[in-house]
Structure 1
């Protein structure tokens, strides 16, 4: 077990503070401790980032890219250490953790290159003797608040564009899985980033967020988490008119039309649903299958689910690890029991386990689902897939859109015409068409409606950390 420290202004901070244990959800063993910081530590980090902003933002894009590329190299060199840290602190199977480290590193590589592609404009003038230009400038100090379920990728998807744009940053990782972020901070130190450019604080979310939201020095907050917390941040941002990027809750529908390749659909839902034990914001939460292929789909889906191995993520052969904590297990149990009480059937799975102190739920397929069930209205965040039979394409679209969320959706059909028409009617920021794993560093990630504001990744990702400045130049 290691006692980790915060990183503020190039120094390790928090030796004399109370500590918080980080436990492995597969074993309930303590795997590390972190300091319990609060407003004082947050303000120290904000001040450090503010003081470092001038020098960092004045570097050329090429100079900033050098730091980012070195950080990228170090992430890949330390992939195994990062992956094992991730697995023991939040339960993700080791092979998924290795994949996440590569995915996380890809954001640093992508934005190291995007730093060189921040373009302004020269606009044709309407009056002789003037020149009209648009400049792009870094927004300032950024606060990044990240979730527990992707402790590397959700961080680098924010760090990469912020640093590339010329911003400095204060990071607040989840208290459930802060160790991966702290390992990444150690690599940033090794990469040689100037002091104050990247800072990390751990501890009380409410106290740290209070300091961030009240500070006039913090010009942007980028947050991934629940819609409920996102709404609070929107309200708190009003007093200082902060720029916000919010990637919030999802409740993704997956539609299988009767002309779909059922084998492709099963492969797609397996890739989407059971990654990280169903604890992802874009995983399929509601499966709508047209009646013509419903029985075949459910049979093949259940067979594939039965082959998944559940256990400690450190085991190379495990496919599905634990849930993050007992509260997560209780939520999954409640959703499954509610569905059974309302007439659903358990096709396979449906069992909770706290074996050896861990928090596990068997991968589960629920048949005969309907809209009255809680799991069809709320995100379960567990390895449970409810399947509802639908008769028509229009019925599937209506059910899919009947939610305040609009992050991700999935459609399986072999018809280009049907696929195009369905997707045109779906109100979701991300759509996988015959594809269950749509994420990549080079594409925009974000949702519609109550699933958030803004986009991360792709060329859109760096724009979120830039201000547009118009300059009128008199030439006479």
Structure 2
């Protein structure tokens, strides 16, 4: 697949394309070459205010909220259809923007986004209330309605998927949206704005503001016209977002960092387990908050597993993301690459055994790092405890099931976890004890819009996907009607 020609991007506000009020622009870098791909408008506080006002007007005066769930569902179905009709262009944009291999973009990123809109199109007409039986002499029932204007703030690693995971349920519930994509990866968000318009979404229902997090993102967090914030990103910025939004007494959903453990028990099917282990830490070049960068192996298998990984991992194809044979592309940017280099240097300093990788790769000027496996680090090493967010796997042995669970739960994160075992009872038992929002057994990254995921501990709170996500974009109202025949005289 060739590199697409990208027109300079503008802001999408109130159904219109416009430059930022300051005229400022920012560069979008192709991570596979380090060269400028295009520029996009850099929104400031004035632009964010215009976007929020447009979303508020669309919510209070436009037709979207008044539509039935079935009518909104038809529009969401049309969005899904347009995503699939434009799959080739979306694949090219996402690969260019993030450095994702095209072999993954089409079946994973693009198809998942389409699936999300289809799923919430179906759920849109299920938002009804319930009659409640009470001892009151009254008829009591509940209704569910939209919250209002939602700020969707999304990260660089899965721009299309993680924006759809917020925008689709927000729209299904009848909300309007202001989307702020990551500074580095705004291209699919701007392309999707055009698809929303073509699908018949009324003006102002979705607005896209590109720009710097400390400016545009901060303005969104603090804007009084926002009714809910849905944020995916680092734990540090998530803490700040929670503080700002919480002070305003508004709801917030936070899907934050992760450092998932992958447990391989002695009874595991080793061939399948190794495949899942490699997928878990190299998928998306390790830039996956639900990746598996910590491998815990039953001691009798420890050296065997290390030997297999040392031989297999260097054979994983690394290279140009436009090459259909590539499995691991570049890091999304130079700062992400430097962070990985710092962690691997620390691993060496802490006495880690580098089995393979451990170096930057010189490929066409891009931000490439060799998939790396590190053994023999102590559990308190920062390389084990912190989120690296790159293609680095640490490996530790364990002696008992209890020790495996203790090690798995020993970090401050709790987003995902994985188990490799052929013992069904063990799978249920250990999954119940792992402190994570989602646990995979005998594979990794099995995700579907119907299955919720989210974090515990420093990995955040709230859930993406499933009816749980849809409910989080609604508010409940109770109506209690007296059935008494007697009137009250004053």
For the aligned pair, the TM-score class normalised by the smaller chain equals over 0.9
Residue aligned with 1:238, SS? helix
C-alpha displacement of 1:342: 2.0
Give me the whole-angstrom Cα distance separating, in 2, the residues matched to 1:335 and 1:112: 43
C-alpha displacement of 1:236: 0.6
Counterpart for residue 393 of structure 2: 385
Give me the whole-angstrom Cα distance separating, in 2, the residues matched to 1:204 and 1:274: 28
- C-alpha RMSD of matched pairs (Å): 1.3
Deviations 1:133-175 (A, max 9, x none): 0110111100000001001000000011000000000000001
Decide which of 39, 48, 56 is 2:54's aligned counterpart.
Answer: 48
Deviations 1:345-380 (A, max 9, x none): 121222212432211111111122321432201111
Moved segments of 4+, more than 6 Å: none
Decide which of 41, 52, 58 is 2:66's aligned counterpart.
Answer: 58
C-alpha displacement of 1:332: 1.1
Is the CA contact (8 Å cut-off) linking 1:32 and 1:179 kept in structure 2?
no
Give me the whole-angstrom Cα distance separating, in 2, the residues matched to 1:290 and 1:391: 6
Residue 101 (1) aligns with residue 110 (2)? yes
Q: TM-score, normalization: structure 2?
A: 0.95
Give me the whole-angstrom Cα distance separating, in 2, the residues matched to 1:423 and 1:239: 35
Counterpart for residue 17 of structure 2: 12
C-alpha displacement of 1:301: 2.6
Decide which of 159, 174, 193 is 1:185's aligned counterpart.
Answer: 193
Counterpart for residue 33 of structure 1: 39
Counterpart for residue 260 of structure 1: 268
Counterpart for residue 451 of structure 2: 443
TM alignment of 1:388-467, pairs within 5 A: 388-467=396-475
Is the CA contact (8 Å cut-off) linking 1:431 and 1:438 kept in structure 2?
no
Is the CA contact (8 Å cut-off) linking 2:319 and 2:363 kept in structure 1?
no
Give me the whole-angstrom Cα distance separating, in 1, the residues matched to 2:129 and 2:283: 40
TM alignment of 1:245-394, pairs within 5 A: 245-394=253-402
C-alpha displacement of 1:239: 3.5
Is the CA contact (8 Å cut-off) linking 2:80 and 2:113 kept in structure 1?
no
Give me the whole-angstrom Cα distance separating, in 2, the residues matched to 1:204 and 1:306: 37
Q: Which moved more, 1:135-144 or 1:118-127?
A: 118-127
Give me the whole-angstrom Cα distance separating, in 2, the residues matched to 1:435 and 1:374: 27
Residue 23 (1) aligns with residue 23 (2)? no
Give me the whole-angstrom Cα distance separating, in 2, the residues matched to 1:177 and 1:223: 16
C-alpha displacement of 1:459: 1.1
TM alignment of 1:31-180, pairs within 5 A: 31-54=37-60, 55-99=63-107, 100-128=109-137, 130-180=138-188
Residue aligned with 1:450, SS? helix
Is the CA contact (8 Å cut-off) linking 1:259 and 1:413 kept in structure 2?
yes
Residue 201 (1) aligns with residue 209 (2)? yes
C-alpha displacement of 1:209: 2.9
Give me the whole-angstrom Cα distance separating, in 2, the residues matched to 1:203 and 1:434: 41
Deviations 1:424-471 (A, max 9, x none): 211111101112122211100101111111101011110010001111
Give me the whole-angstrom Cα distance separating, in 2, the residues matched to 1:264 and 1:422: 19
Residue 228 (1) aligns with residue 233 (2)? no
Is the CA contact (8 Å cut-off) linking 2:256 and 2:459 kept in structure 1?
yes
Give me the whole-angstrom Cα distance separating, in 2, the residues matched to 1:445 and 1:424: 15
Is the CA contact (8 Å cut-off) linking 1:2 and 1:31 kept in structure 2?
no
Is the CA contact (8 Å cut-off) linking 1:46 and 1:218 kept in structure 2?
yes
Is the CA contact (8 Å cut-off) linking 1:4 and 1:182 kept in structure 2?
yes
- The number of residues matched between the two structures is 475
Q: Which runs of 5+ in 2 are unaligned?
A: 1-5, 486-490
Is the CA contact (8 Å cut-off) linking 2:99 and 2:331 kept in structure 1?
yes
C-alpha displacement of 1:344: 1.7
Residue aligned with 1:411, SS? strand
Give me the whole-angstrom Cα distance separating, in 1, the residues matched to 2:345 and 2:52: 46
Is the CA contact (8 Å cut-off) linking 1:262 and 1:293 kept in structure 2?
no
C-alpha displacement of 1:299: 2.2
Give me the whole-angstrom Cα distance separating, in 1, the residues matched to 2:34 and 2:365: 5
Give me the whole-angstrom Cα distance separating, in 1, the residues matched to 2:479 and 2:42: 46
Is the CA contact (8 Å cut-off) linking 1:276 and 1:320 kept in structure 2?
yes
Is the CA contact (8 Å cut-off) linking 2:75 and 2:201 kept in structure 1?
yes
